[in-house]
Amino acid sequence: MATRVNRAGLTELCRRLTGVALAGAEGGAEVLRDKLSGEGSGRKYPGLPNRSSSQGEYPAEQTGDLLGSIDARAAGPGQALFGPISDPPEYLPALLGKPPDMGGRPLLDDARHDRDVHKGIVEGVEAEAQRMFGRVTLRRRT
């Protein structure tokens, strides 16, 4: 007996799962924006509004260009991404590519391993899944 797939139902399921993924990406982006807001604990350089970041910190906010580039978007059926994707500043490749002792800040690597960012993603997914499907709780790793 062959199984028949309801194409309209499959399309709707993909749309909903993409919405869930996007909600998770938006949750992660929100946390990342918080981490990129304000000053760091490094030196205060003349002409810059905030103290700079120290090694191991997220970049300090100076112009707002990096902070303003953090966004989330759908990236295909059931997929989404977030990060500096909305008009990223020209200095981003140098910031990501230099070693920390030369002023580089690997913020994408840091965000990938940041428990707060993970929590933002999970909370976004849970909220959207609950809105769409009813009570949903994701199992959290400790």
Domain ranges, ordered by start, for the chain: 40-133
pLDDT at 35: 97
Among residues 80, 77, 52, 54, which one has the least CA distance to residue 66?
52
Question: In what helix (H) or strand (E) does residue 129 lie, and over which residues does it extend?
Answer: helix 115-133
Rounded to the nearest 10°, the torsion over CA 15, 17, 22, 28 is: 180
User: What is the per-residue pLDDT across 86-126, written as a single tens digit (0 to 9) for each?
Assistant: 999 999 999 999 998 898 999 999 999 999 999 999 999 99
pTM of the model: 0.87
Q: What does the pLDDT read at residue 141?
A: 61
Rounded to a whole number, what is the largest CA-CA distance in the chain?
75
Cα–Cα distance, 93 to 87 (Å, whole number): 13
Which residues are within 8 A (CB) of 49 and not within 5 positions of it... i.e. 6 or more apart? Answer: 62
* DSSP class of 63: S
Q: Confirm if 42 and 54 have CB atoms less than 8 A apart.
A: yes
**What residues in the chain have per-residue pLDDT under 70?**
1, 136-142
- Side-chain-facing half-sphere of 43: CA atoms under 13 Å: 4
pLDDT at residue number 139: 67
Of 50, 96, 87, 93, the closest CA to residue 69 belongs to 87
